[in-house]
Amino acid sequence: MKTLTLFSLFAIASALLTVAQDSGTAPTVDLDPTELTFDCINTATGCQCSHAGTVTLTNLGPTALRISRISTSRSFFSQSNSCGHTLDKGRSCSIQVVWNKVGVGPGELSVFDNGVDSPRKVSLDVYEGCKPPGGSN
């Protein structure tokens, strides 16, 4: 009987150790799209510019994603988001990126978290000038 008890305790301890090790696995994250371009199109009413875009952050698991910071690299881009500090596995949130139409050039949206390959980045760019109808130069 004592041998069975010792064996049972060993099995339980081994199972608890396995669960503890698995809970330390970093989450995998999807960020879509990985680039946003803000540009202007020449229309009948003048030059119409896009000034906002949305990026979706999805936690593919296996554990909760802890988000420490979301930021943009240039002052003419800003962001707001619905992500909070924790994103459970299987959940998504939106990051709204806005171009204030003052500056032009490349930038980045960065998400700092406990996931694999952090920080993850979205390329941001502004097309300088107004494209003709149809969107080509």
pLDDT of residue 108 exceeding 90, the answer is yes
> Which percentage of the chain shows pLDDT scores above 90?
55
| Cut 0.85: pTM above it | no
**Mean pLDDT (whole number) for 19-36:** 77
Highest mean pLDDT among 10-14, 20-24, 113-117, 132-136: 113-117
The span from the CA of 87 to the CA of 37, in Å, is 27
User: What is 89-106 written as a DSSP string?
Assistant: TT-EEEEEEEE-SS--S-
**Mean pLDDT (whole number) for 129-134:** 70
**In the chain, domain spans:** 26-131
The span from the CA of 115 to the CA of 64, in Å, is 9
Q: Does domain 26-131 have CATH number 3.40.50.300?
A: no
What mean pLDDT, rounded, does the chain reach?
Answer: 82
Instruction: Compare 137 and 98 and report the one with higher pLDDT.
Output: 98
The span from the CA of 130 to the CA of 35, in Å, is 20
**Which of 42-51, 56-65, 97-106, 128-137 has the lowest average pLDDT?**
128-137
* 80: confidence class by pLDDT, cuts 50, 70, 90: very high
* 60: confidence class by pLDDT, cuts 50, 70, 90: very high
The span from the CA of 103 to the CA of 22, in Å, is 46
The Cβ of residue 28 has, within 10 Å, a number of other Cβ atoms equal to 16
